[in-house]
Structure 1
Amino acid sequence: MLRQYELVERVKAYDPDADEALLNRAYVYTVQKHGTQKRASGDPYFSHPVEVAGLMTDLKLDQETIMTALLHDTVEDTLATIEDIEANFGPEVARLVDGVTKLSKIEAMPEDERAAENLRKFFLAMSEDIRVLLVKLADRLHNMRTLHFIKSPEKRARIARETMDIYAPLAERVGMYEYMREMQLLAFEQVEPEAYQTITGRLEQIRKQDGGQVDAIALGIKQALAEAGLAVKVWGREKHPYSIWKKMAERHVSFEQVTDIMAFRVIVENEAECYQAMGILHTTWQCIPGKFKDYISTPKNNGYRSLHTSLIYENSMRVEVQIRTREMHRTNEFGLAAHWAYKQGDRPDGAVGWLRDLIEIVDASHDPEELLEHTRLAIYQDRIFAFTPKGALHQLPKGSTPVDFAFAVHTDLGAQTVGAKINGRHMPLRTPLENGDVVELIKGKTAEPQLSWLGFVVTGKARAAIRRAVRLKERSEVAMIGRKMFEEVASRLPAKIGKKAIREAVKRLELEDEEALMYAVGAAKLTDRDLMEALVPGSTSALPDEESWPRQEKAISVRGLTPGVAFQLAECCHPVPGDRIVGLRKMGEGVEVHSISCLTLASGIDADWLDLSWGQHSQGAVGRLRAILYDRPGTLAEMAGTFAKNVANVVTLEQTQRDTPFHTYEVDLEVQDLAHLTRIISALRASDAVAQVDRI
């Protein structure tokens, strides 16, 4: 563990103007507040924030970040408050500590409680000041280094999976590859212990059998470049065990079939020498087609810049080479953190634009599971580069389509897209984009996202926006039905219903607004009685208990049953008075009443069959319809109007399929009898809004 003077000396070494007294006070404060607390390893708890602060000094970050690292657990784990931090260390440090504390609280919650709102705060805190994320990444890295001290295998596995799913990708997205690789390695050991042992064991064998081959290749590359007048630094390294395993899994190959286990880095003086060195290597050894990548002219989103190529070295050995300048190398290893060195007055803002995309994804996501899917898509995928006709560059995951491209440019543009030209040619919207494609998008003023797009889009932002638009449209359509039903219920009340009565009803029912009320009515979340009482309190007191049609036990009688025997109408065929019916009686259960044409009867159910008929005054049951409507404005409202005209109450309404130019719905209706249901079906078939309707 770093001692107090050692930490201060580290900061002063790169920032002579740092406030030594303030740094000392922060060190002493965290030691005093954490007191006798212990970590799972048995070490004093304050050793953890001190080590996190040490990681921040390696990145040469400003003194506010160092103090935040020292204090980041005090509010979470001690009696200290944000107000105490602000009083002792100033508002900027307090704001940063508060941001890290929020992330820690979310992290500590059970997985099923990490709702979208909490994750929105997570990403918002990072986007407001990226130093919050830098401290959090260092915090997670040190925790991963001591993960083996935790006794519970389940807890270790959970933390490792979370690191692999969220923190390592975030480190990659801000260009902190050193953090990313170490996190992945430590998490890989816990998540896939057998694969970890196998691959690290094979790498150890390669080291023993190497015989100086790596050094010889590095020397050969250095000599070839020196002969052309370039003074360079070259070294070789093993591929990361997790990246080897990932490549084996993705390509379905064995360890022996992974040809680029070793990679070499070439450090040159300037950008021009990068390309010069590349040319020399390509004329000295044969390059492998398709393996050349220029991340200098088109950097990655996280600022990564380098030239990558693969060569066939002597003895047919495949060798990967990365060429970069010293400045590129520092940025590539420490990413966005390299821009926060104390000397630089300007703070990078554009580099965290993707975090704001994540916040937009959180706002559009319906539940935590969907959110995690979208954020994984957004923060960790291989990239391609595509251009707008004006030359603006956009980076997208491999497999992206023009729809993904449109949503990457702007959410509204994605929603209005109806077609696309790729390199000047009209192409289907599901066409995968290639590196360097120029994409021209065709908009329609009345266009809207289609559910079918979810079958081919790959970006989290596009999937979240499409799902949100589809949900909003469905909600709007259900609300239209609700408005028709609302008018029918309101007509039965003793007073005329105005806007004021509706506002009061919304308050009484604890709903957001009038639209939410109409949706609740259309989705059958409110009974007629509840709605009437909310609109005009006391208006239902004179009504009988069953204010529409009587319920089954009072309205429906069935002949052929022993008196007192319980029965229920089958959910599979929804028989209504007027249907020919039969009863099924199972041992120890009541009688289930089916329509004689029910397909369930043909499945060989082990039950006694009873010949039944409807009682003389039976009326009121639920019939189910499948209606296919044309995809145009107003069709759902027209169907709702047909129900209202025929005095049929909607029990449930569900959209089961949405495929332009049709929408399919299943509707449960309260009807009096078969004749009533038949009239409704006939009316629907006569409607221009309905393509097809059948009874289920």
Structure 2
Amino acid sequence: MVKVREDYVLNPDGKADIDRWITHIQSSVPLDDPAQLYRACELSQAIDQQAVREDRLWTEGGSSFLTGLEMAQILADLHMDQASLVAAVLYRSVREERVELAVIARDFGEEIAKLIDGVQQMAAISAVHHPLKGSVLGQTQGQLDNVRRMLVTMIDDVRVALIKLAERTCAIRAVKDASPEKRMRVAREVFDIYAPLAHRLGIGHIKWELEDLSFRYLHETAYKKIAKLLDEKRLDRDAYIQRVLDRLRHELERAGIKADLAGRAKHIYSIWRKMRRKGIDFSQVYDIRAVRLLVPEVRDCYAALGIVHSLWRHIPHEFDDYIANPKENGYQSLHTAVIGPEGKIMEVQIRTQRMHEEAELGVCAHWRYKGTDTKSTSIGYEAKINWLRQVLEWQEELGDMSDLVDHLKSDVASDRVYVFTPEGHVVDLPQGATPVDFAYRVHTEVGHACRGAKVNGRIVPLTYPLKTGDQVFVLRSNNPAPSRDWLNPSLGYIQTSRARAKVTHWFKMQDRDRNVADGRAILEDEFRRLSISDVNLEDLAHKVNYKSAEDMFAAIGAGDLKPTQVANSAQQMSEPRDKQLALQLTGPRLQGYATDSDIQVRGVGKLKTAVARCCKPLPGDAIGGYITVGRGVTVHRMDCINFLQLQQAEPHRIIEVSWGGRPEAVYPVEIEIEAYDRSGLLRDITTIVGNQRINVVALNTLSHPDDNTATMTLTVEINSLEQLARLLAQIRQLPNIAEVRRKRSH
């Protein structure tokens, strides 16, 4: 345990000696600009002294200045960089709102301000974390696991995680004089969240300290009992270990093996956990007496193991080779238990110096060592953990840490977001999920009744993409009924198949006549906006695999059939030869693709394809392929329940497919807009066009002062009918828009 305050920070008069402290820090961390760290210490100390003069109460840990130095010392022991140390010194002052983050950015740089802001975001979990071990809302993961995953998702810079671990280490050290309630609260949080995080990152000595101090407050009686047993045997154990070390050192020297030898005390929580797990008492814990050998090379590990086993008898089933089979957090070592001198059992650990650094410092060991450059392509939780463990390893190749973080952010974007319910429970959702998706994740009836949402206390649109850490409150109606607009993918209300299925099912349960009427109105509106006419509805129904136009209308009204799918087919029927207007997705054969009908299979040469009968995908649908046995590739809609099950059961047989055509091909389309004139109307329209990355070729605006209306004509470059439908739908949602449609050609 670090004792920065007593050992070398405070002078006999009680004042801090910053110069002496920085000199000590430089023995562990080479500082690029010691003056910057000195200025940070001076600022934190001045803020602290001002708080004392104003008689303001400190938070946990007392002095924010001394706590900052203690945090920085922990990070220095992990060999972190100067920016991390400066951020640690200033963090408590910012968190306690004694100095603005903007001031830190101005005086110390954006990098340090971003580190502090990242640690503050992680601290938000403490405000709403509820220590529930079970799952809620039907989730497969327990709440603690979800909170840990949420925590890791928030981390875009490995240094943020390490600063937070240092801060929580200081917090758990400082609560010994706090109230029992506060000790229990901090201990529970540290034990549930931060000790496992330190373990996953492989930072052994921080993990052990967090576990032991948390255990001390959560299970005080058991802690004191084991501590007393260890203390009673300490002198005898130390003398015994010294005799073993002398014997081993002599034998290793005779064999020509250079080694550093030391005795190791097993930490208290680990002893208690082993006693509970194996149902044994204290005397049966073999690694109470433990010896560690550090040798230069891997081959020396196995040579030293042979010497140990030649000196003392090995206990069967008590040997583990974590060098050949490392633990999931990267830990490597040889472990063996032997019956040593005087018939006493002891554990021997053998590893290289580098393995020892990995075990003690985890990701931080990469500041000293450079290993293989292996990047995971997954974007899930395990990949993020791997990234955190590897990110410092790549620093030598990619330059300074700020460039490194920017380079990697896109590679580790999580495929899940973790948000809070009003009660503080964690709900995991796919990336891009909206408040409507959240409402249906909580409960079907909550989804049906959803009419609005508050995120972090502020009202947001129902299309708002949720972010990790958001707390979501659903505004509900007394008359539950979903909106048909939610099923329109162009409007972006729903992103999850679960929510879409719930809404679709609700409309299915409504009266067929109503569905037919609603479906007819929806399709007519879609045709009008896209300027589609002269289509035989019965032929169109057959083309989209329905027996009659009425069945097709009912499917649209119930949400089983998307109006954009029907519009695609109608466009092909009415203008099959005119690609400028039809915006068809079919096209010539491309290099590297094999085509069959309108479907392309990427990178596999000539391959037979067939449309799945269960979901009947149409051009414009998001699709995926399943490799069958002897029948080529079956093409499903991405939201097909059968395809989702196949993805889970046989992911190796899923293949990427797409509708035919050149993805870079675009077609000019004229759009007519009629609106009631207002300030900022044109800006709002062009913002929507810009957000979709659509190029505007021409723009004409005509105002009519007599009735305060305006007519606009935009010529835009569109690559698909689906893109056009999405653009028209979003423009239609703007205030004051009376009509928006594709202009008919003459």
TM-score (normalizing by structure 2) = 0.49
8 Å contact kept, 2:286–2:337: no
**Residue 16 of structure 1: CA displacement?**
4.9
Letter in 2 for 1:235: A
The residue number in structure 1 matching 2:384 is 353
In the alignment, residue 12 of structure 1 is paired with which amino acid? Answer: Q
Equivalent pair of 1:340/1:347 in contact (CA under 8 Å): no
| 1:179 alignment partner, SS class | helix
Residue aligning to 2:366: 339
Say whether 1:21 aligns with 2:40: no
- Distance in 2 (CA, whole Å) between partners of 1:54 and 1:27 is 13
1:133 aligns with 2:164: no
Post-superposition offset of 1:361 = 8.2
* One-letter identity of the residue aligned with 1:497: A
What is the CA-CA distance between 1:243 and the residue it aligns to? 0.6
The equivalent of 1:295 in structure 2 is 322
1:63 counterpart = 2:82? yes
Q: Provide the rounded CA distance (Å) in 1 between the counterparts of 2:277 and 2:312.
A: 28
Q: Tell me the secondary structure at the aligned position of residue 202 of structure 2.
A: coil
Q: Decide whether the 8 Å contact of 1:164 with 1:187 is kept in 2.
A: yes
Q: 2:505 aligns with which of 472, 475, 481?
A: 481
Distance 1:179 1:372, change over 3 A: farther
Cα separation, partners in 2 of 1:118 and 1:251, compared to 1, 3 Å: closer
Tell me how far 1:82 sits from its aligned partner: 2.7
C-alpha deviation, 1:172, in angstroms: 1.3
> How many residues are matched?
414
Is 1:260 equivalent to 2:287 in the alignment? Answer: yes
Counterpart AA for 1:133: A
**In the alignment, which residue of structure 1 is the partner of 2:741?**
none
Does 354-363 or 157-166 show the bigger shift? 354-363
Amino acid at match of 1:312: I
Q: Distance in 2 between matches of 1:242 and 1:71?
A: 32
Provide the rounded CA distance (Å) in 2 between the counterparts of 1:43 and 1:97: 19
What is the aligned counterpart of 1:123 among 148, 152, 161?
A: 152
| 1:146 CA drift (Å) | 0.9
Q: State how far apart, in whole Å, the 2-side matches of 1:520 and 1:100 are.
A: 48
Name which of 107, 129, 136 aligns with 2:126: 107
Deviation by residue 1:163-202 (Cα, 9 ceiling, x = unmatched): 1111111111111111111111110110000100111111
Shift of the 331–345 alpha-carbon distance from structure 1 to 2, 3 Å rule, reads closer
The Cα offsets for residues 12-31 of structure 1, whole Å up to 9 and x where unpaired, read as 33555520221111112222
Please say if residues 38 and 45 of structure 1, whose CA atoms lie closer than 8 Å, have aligned partners that are also in contact.
no
2:260 aligned to which of 233, 251, 267: 233
Aligned to 2:303: 276
Q: Where in structure 2 are the equivalents of 1:185-196 lying within 5 Å?
A: 185-196=212-223
Kindly provide the amino acid, as one letter, of the partner of residue 5 in structure 1. Answer: D
Identity %: 30
Deviation for aligned residue 1:40: 5.9
RMSD: 4.2
Correspondence list, 1:499-648, <5 A: none
Post-superposition offset of 1:221: 2.4
Amino acid at match of 1:57: A
Aligned partner of 2:44 in structure 1 is 30
Q: Tell me which residue corresponds to 2:103.
A: 84
C-alpha distance after superposition, 1:218-276 (max 9, x if no partner): 22222332232223222222321101100111112222332332111012222221121
What's the secondary structure of 2:521's corresponding residue?
Answer: coil
- Structure 1's 112 and 275: CA in aligned 2 closer, same or farther, altered over 3 A? closer
* Cα 1:117/1:25, change in 2 over 3 Å: farther
CA contact (8 A) 1:478 1:519 kept: no
* Correspondence 1:152-171 to 2 at 5 A: 153-171=180-198
1:8 corresponding residue in structure 2: 22
1:242 matched to 2:266? The reply is: no
User: Which amino acid in the other structure matches residue 55 of structure 1?
Assistant: I
Deviation at 1:39, TM superposition (A): 3.8
Q: Give 3-state SS (helix, strand or coil) of 1:289's partner.
A: strand
- State the Cα distance separating 1:488 from its structure 2 match: 2.4
Q: Which amino acid letter does the alignment assign opposite residue 274 of structure 1?
A: C
- CA distance 1:264–1:519, shift in 2 (3 Å): farther
Write the distance in 2 (CA, Å) between the matches of 1:116 and 1:243. Answer: 21
The Cα of 1:302 is off from its aligned counterpart by: 3.2
Whole-angstrom distance in 2 between the partners of 1:352 and 1:25: 38
Determine helix, strand or coil for the equivalent of 1:80: coil
CA deviations on 1:76-130 (whole Å, 9 max, x unpaired) are 212433322211111211111110111123223353899999876632332x211
C-alpha contact (below 8 Å) 1:125/1:132 kept by paired residues: no
Q: Is 1:172–1:180's contact at 8 Å kept on the other side of the alignment? A: yes
CA gap 1:255/1:121 in 2 versus in 1, 3 angstroms: closer
Kindly state the Cα deviation for residue 373 of structure 1 after the two structures are TM-superposed: 12
The one-letter amino acid of 2:40's match is: A
Whole-angstrom CA distance in 2 between matches of 1:103 and 1:188: 23
Shift of 1:52: 0.6
Distance 1:82 1:501, change over 3 A: farther
Spell out, residue by residue over 1:115-157, the C-alpha distance to the aligned partner (whole angstroms, 9 max, x if none).
999876632332x211111111111111111111212x12211
| Letter of the structure 2 residue corresponding to residue 232 of structure 1 | A
Q: Distance in 2 between matches of 1:320 and 1:89?
A: 49
Match for 2:175 among 147, 155, 158?
A: 147
> Secondary structure of the equivalent of 2:350?
strand
The alpha carbon displacement at 1:54 in A equals 1.6
Q: 1:502 to 1:72 in 2, by over 3 A?
A: farther
Shift of 1:53: 1.0
Cα distance, 1:11 vs. partner?
3.9
SS of 2:331 mapped into structure 1: coil
Cα pair 2:321 2:335 within 8 Å, conserved? yes
Which residue number in structure 2 is paired with residue 93 of structure 1? 112
User: When the two structures are superposed, what TM-score results if normalisation uses the length of structure 1?
Assistant: 0.52
Residues 1:288 and 1:100: Cα distance change in structure 2 (over 3 Å): same
Label 1:47 to 1:521 Cα distance change in 2 as closer, same or farther (>3 A): farther
1:640 corresponds to:
none
Which residue in the other structure is 2:65 paired with?
A: 46
Corresponding residue for 1:313?
340
Instruction: Give the 3 Å change call, closer, same or farther, for CA 520–318 of structure 1 in structure 2.
Output: farther
Summarize the Cα distance change of 1:372–1:252 in structure 2 as closer, same or farther, 3 Å threshold: farther
Amino acid aligned to 1:138? A
Deviation at 1:68, TM superposition (A): 1.0
SS of corresponding position for 2:327? coil
1:588 matched residue in structure 2: none
Alignment-mate amino acid for residue 23 of structure 1: L
Distance between the aligned counterparts of 2:518 and 2:312, measured in 1? Answer: 92
Q: Is the 8 A contact 2:148 2:193 kept in 1?
A: no
Moved more, 159-168 or 331-340: 331-340
Contact 1:116 1:365 (8 Å CA) reproduced: no
> For the residues of structure 2 that align with 1:373 and 1:495, how far apart are their CA atoms?
34
